[in-house]
Amino acid sequence: MKLSLSRNLPSVILPPLAASFLLIAYNSAFWNSFVRATGGLGWSQLPLQIGMFFLIAFVFTACLALVNFKYVFKTVLIFLFVATSAASYFMNQYGTAIDWSMVQNVAETDAREGMELLTWKMTFTVTLLGILPSVVLGYSKVQYPPIKGHLAQILGSVLASLVLAGVLLFLLYKGLASPLREHRELRFLLTPTNYIQAVNGYFKRKWASPVVVSPLGTDASKGVLWAKSSRRTVTVIIVGETARSMNFSLNGYSRQTNPLLANQQGLLNFTQVQSCGTATAVSVPCVFSALGRHQYSSAKAQGQEGLLDVFKHAGFDVRWRDNNSGCKGVCDRIQFEDLSKPSLGDPLCNTEECYDEKLLRDLPELIRSATKDLVIVLHQKGSHGPAYSKRYPKEFAKFAPVCETSELAKCSTESIVAAYDNTILYTDFIISKAISILEKSNTEDGVDTALMYFSDHGESLGEKNMYLHGAPYVISPDEQRHVPLMLWLSDSFQTRFRIDTRCLAARRDQEFSHDNVFHSALGMLAINTAVYNPKLDIFNACKHEQ
């Protein structure tokens, strides 16, 4: 039969045609990874690779046959073509895989960040691979048999497809077992199943039973060291965004991205720190929880108070200042200040967003006017991509050439890295200025001051053809997990809480993670509570007895 738009297509052939089109048009990332996982291109691997194509095609055919009804099937396919073309674009453009946490990251990204990902190249790709096939499908004429015959046809298609898939699985199992077990990333690359499962997983978590927040650390109190001084304390926690450890010159990077911090007296820098997640939506609630990475889940974190609540129970005034997309639930029960909205004429903002220096605006006055011990969290925009060049004022464009578009495929690796390095240079300035403010408060206002900085996760800049972040943790590269951690403590703070900074400096190359932050923050400030675990406190081994 000659097929054309002017002739009726028998309905029975639509599911296998659609399944084949989905596998061919949208799954280049999956097939590239699968070919590598099975030993590359070669005559000996070809039967396994072709067999895998037909195995998946039969499974897709069985699934699509279940919805192969008049007025239903075209609607389903049009949705799949458009959505899958968009998913395929992001996977190919940025080397990302898709799981539920990636969907959460997208859902919780603010509109300004999201707009940076909408490019003309994406529009062209979705039009070519999503809208155009949908138009062809929409104008095609499909012949459906009477309902009884059609139901029998569907049943036959499903059974035949599953039987053939089962036979192929049996024949290919020996060859598939090892690559599928060792390359778990493949299931996050096969589309549309990856984003369908991811969206389902996201909404299952989001729409779970209403969250009842359990109290945590209500027994928290200031330890005996507090009784020996009446001076107030101010602790600043800077939460970095998308800053990876390997691009900090403090950690051996060839470019001087930390010229100010390199000369900062008393700075403690830890070089081997792993993040809890690879996306803000996971890492931020995880690092401020007492759960640790292995016990963390979004539902658990939402159902339990965190570090900032424990500080509040201990009598601190706790505040969150944000230049990002929110605190992901971490600051729901404390004072929140959104500084991310640009205002006309503000020198610390452009027309689209504000620079991180705005987080420091009025900070000296805030410290001076406080009547209680103060914990302030500053949440940076930091190095969030792909539009790295928008994250810093022009005077920090030290490294060049700079990629000035969010379409990273149009930029050389050199220009992408240069733009990213400029964001680290700007973060160096932000941390240094925050420390200067705290030094001045210490000497002029008689306040014991401390600062902790860490990033939520890292970033891929083209290594292994991966970009941005958000890869499933189990397959994520070190670039997305290896993050900076720094401490600065005023002399009076060190004396008051008996902290041996030489001991801490000796631990700079030991392996730590976000799991240590919760307990180290409590230990640093000598907070007594049953939820404190001294084994995870970086300071515990470095405190004087007397």
pLDDT tens for 340-373 read 999 889 999 998 899 999 999 999 999 999 999 9
Please give the torsion angle defined by the CA atoms of residues 532, 535, 541 and 543, in that order, rounded to the nearest 10 degrees. Answer: 0
Banded model confidence at residue 2, pLDDT cuts 50, 70, 90 = very low
Identify the weakest region by mean pLDDT among 22-31, 257-266, 322-331, 459-468. Answer: 459-468
What single-letter amino acid sits at 502?
R
pLDDT of residue 546: 57
Tokens of 391: 């994250």
Beta strands in 288-357 (DSSP E): 317-322, 335-338
Q: What is the pLDDT of residue 1?
A: 39
Q: Which amino acid, residue 312?
A: K
For residue 294, the 8-state DSSP code is G
Task: Report whether 403 contacts 261 (CB < 8 A).
Answer: no
Vertex 244, ends 240 and 245: CA angle to 5°?
105
Predicted confidence at residue 210, as pLDDT, reads: 64
Q: Report the DSSP pairing between strands 511-513 and 460-461.
A: unpaired
Place 3 in a pLDDT band, splitting at 50, 70 and 90. Answer: very low
Residue 501: count of CB within 10 angstroms of its CB = 16
Q: How far apart are CA 513 and CA 485, in angstroms?
A: 9
Q: What is the pLDDT of residues 499-534, one digit of tens each?
A: 999 999 999 999 999 999 999 999 999 999 999 999
Q: Answer whether residue 7 shows pLDDT above 70.
A: no
Cβ neighbours for 532, distance < 8 A, ≥ 6 positions apart: 519, 522, 523
Q: Own/partner pairs for 438-443, CB < 8 Å, 24+ apart?
A: 438/234, 438/236, 438/488, 438/490, 439/490, 440/364, 441/234, 441/364, 441/367, 441/368, 442/490, 442/491, 442/492, 442/493
Q: Where are the alpha helices (DSSP H) in 66-146?
A: 73-94, 100-107, 111-115, 120-126, 132-139
Q: Helix H segments across 110-146?
A: 111-115, 120-126, 132-139
| pLDDT tens per residue across span 46-82 | 999 999 999 999 999 999 999 999 989 999 999 999 9
Of 86-90, 177-181, 434-438, minimum mean pLDDT range = 177-181
**How many Å apart are CA 538 and CA 509, to the nearest integer?**
12
Instruction: Tell me what pLDDT residue 209 has.
Output: 66
Handedness of CA 291, 297, 298, 303 (dihedral sign): negative
Q: What is the pLDDT of residue 162?
A: 96
Instruction: Enumerate the β-bridge partners of residue 273.
Output: 483, 512
pLDDT the model gives residue 105: 79
* Predicted TM-score (pTM) of this structure: 0.77
